[in-house]
Structure 1
Amino acid sequence: MVQTGAKAQRVYVLSVQQEFDKACGRETHILAPETADGMPRLNEKAMRVYDNMIAEADKQGLRLILPFIDHWWWWGGREQLAAFYHEKAEDFYRTDSKTFKAYLDVIRQVITRTNTVTGRAYYDEKAIMAWETGNELEDTNADFLHQTAAWIKKWAPHQLVVDGTYKKINSFALTDPNVDIVSNHYYTNADNNHPGQVTQDLRAVGGQKVYLVGEFGLLPADQLNAIMQSIVHSEVNGAQAAGGLIWGFRGHRHDGGFYWHKESTGHYSYHLPGFAKEGEANQEQAVVDLVRTAAAQMAGQQTMAPLPKPEAPLLRETTSPFAINWMGAAVGRSYDVERAASPTGPWTVVGRDISDGVNEWNPETMVLFRDDYRQLQLGHTYYYRVTAKNESGRSAPSNVISVQHSEENQPPVVTLEPALTTTQDQGVELTASWQDDGLPSREVKVGWQHAGDG
């Protein structure tokens, strides 16, 4: 993200355990207490991923805004936290509830956690710019915010606090000494997804706090650009927005392609550095470019800088030359695949301009590259490497992997319905199926034998 001009990013909330997790194979961040009146527990496996994210952000110079709990249920939020104590979702905002007590303890556990990668406590992580009370906590009241913000500052006195409310600017947040940033989210269902909301909110803030547009989106690119330019240029009595973040971005999968999400509006997650063809219906390239342009403008530049050359992708081990995948480079637009008979070459390009930006990528059924069966000899070992490309140049080659070609096309297993006897030459339907062996160049030939008079 830093390579496209980003300086800070907001991450989605910590997830809370719920009944769907096992079926999804999902590791949630916050687990149920071990006893009825106990406090929630952090899931070590999920938090180690969080550790890595923070460590990598620090390495890249990216600053993070980290919200705690979601107002909504789908990721596991206040409703699921309340269910641990047989309370209702609205009890989350009651400061005398068990749910609120648990929420505060989650905050303590997270902020005081020692990062397993860096060895530092989270409250000492420079990459963590701000803690946000939560995501779209639209029922935030003065007592809830006052206690929460003070609690965060107690454990993280050198990091900032964001009032994670929604649809409004809370007047009590503007006078709370422990709140550093106020934010709003712009969406059509909130009737605020327009450029004028920036000025309206800046007037409400009155320069008393830093103002951030934490999310906006789910609009055509031209309307998103109008809002973004308002964020960049609007000013009320000398006060301007600190920035704005478009919903939403998802990164590369480890084993190829990108993570993705599709909203009810039909909009997909955006992927960097933007894919004009694969993301055409999503106007992906236009949206990525308008964000990059705004980031450049806020840094005092007129236009966005050229992308750097990509870093080398990471080629994954495989047992088949027909299932070659790699973790893409951060700003790679396409990839070339090379094959050799030895690990040092000479190398032959066997795949050109391969994109990993396809939406709805499914690593269980899709592969980035299948070699040509006709060019391979059974029993031979082949070596592969991949290079990333964009308009600024090529990356260094990836790591090299070796694959022995030991797969033969297997005869299909054909199953027909029970034999039929008929005096008709037409109108009889027979169905057949075959077991796909996963190799390319599948071909099915059908032959009929006519027996009888005539």
Structure 2
Amino acid sequence: MTRKAQPHAIPRWASLAAVVLALSLAPPAHASPAPTDPARFVTRSDSRLTLDGKPFRFAGTNIYWLGLDENVGGVAYPTFFRIRDALDTAKAMGMTVVRSHMLASTGNPLSILPSKEAGFNDAAFATVDYAIAYAGSIGLRLILPLTDEWAYYHGGHRDFTEPYGLPPEAFYTDERVIADYQAYAEHVMRRVNPLTGRAYNADPTIMAWEFGNELEGMTLDWINRNAAAFRTWAPRQLIAAGRRFDIDADTLAAPGVDIVDVHYYPPTAERVAADAATVTGAGKVYLAGEYASTAATKELLTPLAANRDVTGMLSWSLFGHHDRNGFVQHDDGFTLHYPGDDARMRAAVEAQAAFAAQVSPATGRPARVGPPLITQVDKRGGLNELRWRGAAGAAGYVVERARHGRWSAAHQGLLTDNQTPWIDPEATGEVSYRVVPVDRDGRRGTPSEPVRVTGSQVALVDPLQTTDLADGHANVTITPAAAVAAGEAWLSWSRPGLRRARFDVAGRPRIKVQVSDDGSTWRTVRHESGDGRVTAETEHESTGGQVTAEIEGAGHVRVVWSGGGGLTRATLWSADPAPVSAPPAAPAALTPAPGARDVLGTPAFTWSPSPGASFYTLTVSEHADLSDPVLTATAITGTEHRPPEQLEPGVTYSWRVTAVNAAGRTSGAVSSFATRPLPASPAVVDDFTGYADSAQLAAAYPGNPGGDPITPSLLPGQGMRLDYTLGGAGYAGVTRTFSPALDVWGQHGLELRLARTGAPAKITVQFVTGGVYFEHTLDAAPDGVVRVPFTAFDHPSWAGAGPLDLTRFEQLSFYAGGGPGTGTLTVGQVTAYPAP
């Protein structure tokens, strides 16, 4: 589904009575580790935090988008489900603190302070109110930065200087700007949350206010002035401050700062321990407010859990389930999903959960996970295709089907959130589905509500978290509990061949269901209430439960209601838009092309589409009759498949694609190709013979701009000399980019000739293939030839994961690290060497 890039409906809270409805809608999905009294404030005792007189340490994460999101359909308010699901996911991991930038925002039409001229936009607090209230209801604490060094969609400190035509650094010096920032901070802190009845500055859920995220220009005077103001407005909450990658000395010196926040991309246990000792030595509380989630390992976190100077570690950054299916995606390389999209992310999740258990052990048995929500049952070639909205804390799901009331699994094993939509390869005719979540301990959770379809029906479920699925609406207010009416309201949906509609109702609204053939002329139709009463063409007061109506093929349906209560869900059944009556056409093999030679070991198999196909099955074998296949993949919905494992080099393979639908299956012709043999000789990466002088070499190998000084020079007939001075950065390096990229496919590893003099240093060899980083560190550079197999290279902790595509060897870097001190590294010929 493509979301409309427009703001979601903004809730307006009518009364505090909404609290019970909103927060009882989705009770906590998981038991709290070390449950705390939410009415108690976290306090500081010198360099430690305490709660109820006991030490308070925590695992945490950043969920930056809770007030204003950028990841689903453009900049918009997140749905209440996404807020709730992400916080529940943090809870499921054992976390007790969440840091969130976008619970305060400026400079955007949807933010709390769109501009100085426009003034405050109090409607933007709706999602903020809910996030704070829900976090408190499940025992989570919050750290809230009030602005940002960086000008992202949620705004930053430049929003306070630009109205005066001032440069960014005036944020810390200009009296008008300081006054505007403080007025904004005070307005946020004094906000009374209608869901809790508490002002933000009186809510223990908010553990700390942070001046801003990674502020680089803070002065001691600026810190002291704002700390004094914050202490006046929020006397029982803590004050945090920090810059980006190191410790701001002024935050240590300022008496009003409670917490010093340090960020790491990547972290090391040694660096965190050293920083924690520095911060606690100054009498402040230390926490790592951000660290790369890709670096979360037990090797990193276990020693930090034992280090009492480390109060908290917060990974960057957590995303929960999408409203329709799968997860919300983000593209910065540090996205974290539970339980993890791949082996690396799963290990990072497990490491963070283990850290949480060490610093704040859980008590009690976790509650059941779930329920999920089936959001769509479509037809693909006559077979049912399911989408479901996941449940926080689910490690996987079982899709169950029933024909006559008895449920049974529709597949083997567990499906993940990344496997929705899922095609049922067997069921035709009338069938019911439900999705059962399974937690990390293998316990079945609460199943979704069933959805039943016939062999010619599809179903759409709208949980009414937004109005995005609707064709039109008026006077609708979205709340966490229901879509409620402001006066008389209506919602309409457009679906070809509508047959039936069901509306789940809360409270006692007056309801009528109408249909239309053209979307403009409406007629009220007979509908049945949950109390069994049938109403024909009149308005009906519902007593709660469900209202259903038979639509008989109209293209549009709408529900009109007013009075107390509202709608919590709409389920629409319509005719299969593309029924099939015959098997699909035969697909034709495209790539590898028939008879192709030197095909690489992980080719993309592609084929022509077959009209009417539900899915495809691919079979690959070393035999022309496809016996003993080395690869069989099924339920492929597209026309491409790349095998997860490499095929053997120098082998002739045969393959075939079969198209399947509800009426049968049709196989294409068998095609064959031969894979490229492994190379028998090495490939030169750089022999340093193509450079006229040191200047040309230095142009080809520029130094890393964030590192310490390093100077490359040419040693004719020997290689490259690197003279480095290690200091504050702790590393110095150079990088060559190859254009075009080198093809070193099939080689076993890198061979280089190294020599080092001067201060001891670790030498890191790094390369990039297909945009993915890999590196290997030598504790000491040997004086001579060293071989490093490609299997010894791993992704840096600060980088994202990806495949090793040696056909696109794009960059080569050499780094010296450690120190301080000066030294020289000589690099001779670099080759990619073949397997022994």
> TM-score normalized by structure 1?
0.72
Whether contact under 8 Å (1:324, 1:367) holds in the other structure is yes
Task: Spell out the pairing of 1:293-312 with structure 2 (5 A cutoff).
Answer: 293-299=354-360, 308=366, 310-312=368-370
- The one of 427, 431, 434 equivalent to 1:375 is 427
Q: 1:258 to 1:172 in 2, by over 3 A?
A: same
- The one of 242, 255, 260 equivalent to 2:311 is 242
Tell me the equivalent position of 2:433: 384
Whether contact under 8 Å (1:308, 1:331) holds in the other structure is no
Task: Spell out the pairing of 1:135-154 with structure 2 (5 A cutoff).
Answer: 135-154=213-232
For 1:131 and 1:216, locate their aligned partners in 2 and report how far apart those are by CA, in whole Å. 19
For 1:356 and 1:48, locate their aligned partners in 2 and report how far apart those are by CA, in whole Å. 32
Deviations 1:130-154 (A, max 9, x none): 1111111122111221222222222
Tell me the equivalent position of 1:335: 397
Q: 1:438 to 1:318 in 2, by over 3 A?
A: farther
Task: Spell out the pairing of 1:354-373 with structure 2 (5 A cutoff).
Answer: 354-358=414-418, 367-372=420-425
**3-state SS, counterpart of residue 195 of structure 1:** helix
- The one of 409, 432, 435 equivalent to 2:578 is 409
Q: 1:115 to 1:400 in 2, by over 3 A?
A: farther
For 1:326 and 1:52, locate their aligned partners in 2 and report how far apart those are by CA, in whole Å. 24
For 2:359 and 2:212, locate their aligned partners in 1 and report how far apart those are by CA, in whole Å. 26
- The one of 254, 258, 279 equivalent to 2:323 is 254
**3-state SS, counterpart of residue 302 of structure 2:** helix
Deviations 1:269-298 (A, max 9, x none): 1112x23xx323xx1121112222222222
For 2:115 and 2:369, locate their aligned partners in 1 and report how far apart those are by CA, in whole Å. 41
Please tell me the residue identity of whatever aligns with 1:244.
M
For 1:353 and 1:29, locate their aligned partners in 2 and report how far apart those are by CA, in whole Å. 46
Whether contact under 8 Å (2:316, 2:334) holds in the other structure is no
For 1:268 and 1:219, locate their aligned partners in 2 and report how far apart those are by CA, in whole Å. 6
For 1:340 and 1:84, locate their aligned partners in 2 and report how far apart those are by CA, in whole Å. 63
Asked if 1:214 corresponds to 2:277, the answer is: no
Q: 1:437 to 1:152 in 2, by over 3 A?
A: farther
For 2:148 and 2:395, locate their aligned partners in 1 and report how far apart those are by CA, in whole Å. 34
Structure 2, unpaired ranges of 5+: 1-89, 458-574, 581-607, 617-636, 638-658, 661-665, 669-836
Tell me the equivalent position of 1:417: none
Tell me the equivalent position of 2:207: 129
Whether contact under 8 Å (1:183, 1:212) holds in the other structure is yes
**3-state SS, counterpart of residue 149 of structure 1:** helix
For 1:353 and 1:119, locate their aligned partners in 2 and report how far apart those are by CA, in whole Å. 47
Tell me the equivalent position of 1:324: 386
Q: 1:285 to 1:309 in 2, by over 3 A?
A: farther
> How well do the aligned residues superpose, as a CA RMSD in angstroms?
3.5
Q: 1:102 to 1:74 in 2, by over 3 A?
A: same
Asked if 1:90 corresponds to 2:169, the answer is: yes
**3-state SS, counterpart of residue 197 of structure 2:** coil
Please tell me the residue identity of whatever aligns with 2:301.
M
Please tell me the residue identity of whatever aligns with 1:409.
A
Tell me the equivalent position of 2:342: 279
More helix by share: 1
Deviations 1:193-217 (A, max 9, x none): 5523422442354151211111122
Tell me the equivalent position of 2:306: 233
Q: 1:183 to 1:346 in 2, by over 3 A?
A: same
Greater Rg by CA: 2
Q: 1:16 to 1:383 in 2, by over 3 A?
A: farther
Whether contact under 8 Å (1:249, 1:271) holds in the other structure is yes
**3-state SS, counterpart of residue 410 of structure 2:** strand
Structure 1, unpaired ranges of 5+: 22-26, 359-365, 412-432, 448-454
For 1:225 and 1:446, locate their aligned partners in 2 and report how far apart those are by CA, in whole Å. 49
Whether contact under 8 Å (1:91, 1:97) holds in the other structure is no
For 1:142 and 1:340, locate their aligned partners in 2 and report how far apart those are by CA, in whole Å. 68
Deviations 1:52-109 (A, max 9, x none): 22122111111111111111122332234433444332222224243x3332222122
Whether contact under 8 Å (1:307, 1:331) holds in the other structure is no
Tell me the equivalent position of 1:70: 148
Q: 1:116 to 1:368 in 2, by over 3 A?
A: farther
Larger deviation, residues 329-338 vs 148-157 = 148-157
Tell me the equivalent position of 2:158: 79
Whether contact under 8 Å (2:370, 2:392) holds in the other structure is no
Tell me the equivalent position of 1:346: 406
For 1:119 and 1:399, locate their aligned partners in 2 and report how far apart those are by CA, in whole Å. 34
For 1:305 and 1:332, locate their aligned partners in 2 and report how far apart those are by CA, in whole Å. 20
**3-state SS, counterpart of residue 169 of structure 2:** helix
Q: 1:369 to 1:354 in 2, by over 3 A?
A: farther
For 1:12 and 1:294, locate their aligned partners in 2 and report how far apart those are by CA, in whole Å. 24
Whether contact under 8 Å (1:10, 1:66) holds in the other structure is yes
Larger deviation, residues 197-206 vs 121-130 = 197-206
**3-state SS, counterpart of residue 313 of structure 1:** coil
For 1:187 and 1:313, locate their aligned partners in 2 and report how far apart those are by CA, in whole Å. 36
Whether contact under 8 Å (1:354, 1:368) holds in the other structure is no
For 1:253 and 1:326, locate their aligned partners in 2 and report how far apart those are by CA, in whole Å. 10
Tell me the equivalent position of 1:53: 131
Task: Spell out the pairing of 1:132-211 with structure 2 (5 A cutoff).
Answer: 132-188=210-266, 193=268, 195-211=270-286
Q: Between the two proteins, what is the percent identity of the paired residues? A: 28
Larger deviation, residues 134-143 vs 311-320 = 311-320
Whether contact under 8 Å (1:15, 1:30) holds in the other structure is yes
Q: 1:102 to 1:43 in 2, by over 3 A?
A: same
**3-state SS, counterpart of residue 70 of structure 1:** coil
**3-state SS, counterpart of residue 325 of structure 1:** strand
Per-residue deviation, 1:353: 4.4
How many residues are matched? 382
Q: 1:340 to 1:95 in 2, by over 3 A?
A: farther
Please tell me the residue identity of whatever aligns with 1:389.
V
For 2:365 and 2:422, locate their aligned partners in 1 and report how far apart those are by CA, in whole Å. 25
Per-residue deviation, 1:160: 1.1
> TM-score normalized by structure 2?
0.41
Please tell me the residue identity of whatever aligns with 1:333.
A
Please tell me the residue identity of whatever aligns with 1:293.
A
**3-state SS, counterpart of residue 293 of structure 1:** helix
Tell me the equivalent position of 1:399: 449
- The one of 360, 367, 371 equivalent to 1:313 is 371
For 1:124 and 1:402, locate their aligned partners in 2 and report how far apart those are by CA, in whole Å. 48
Please tell me the residue identity of whatever aligns with 1:78.
H
For 2:302 and 2:176, locate their aligned partners in 1 and report how far apart those are by CA, in whole Å. 43
Per-residue deviation, 1:402: 4.1
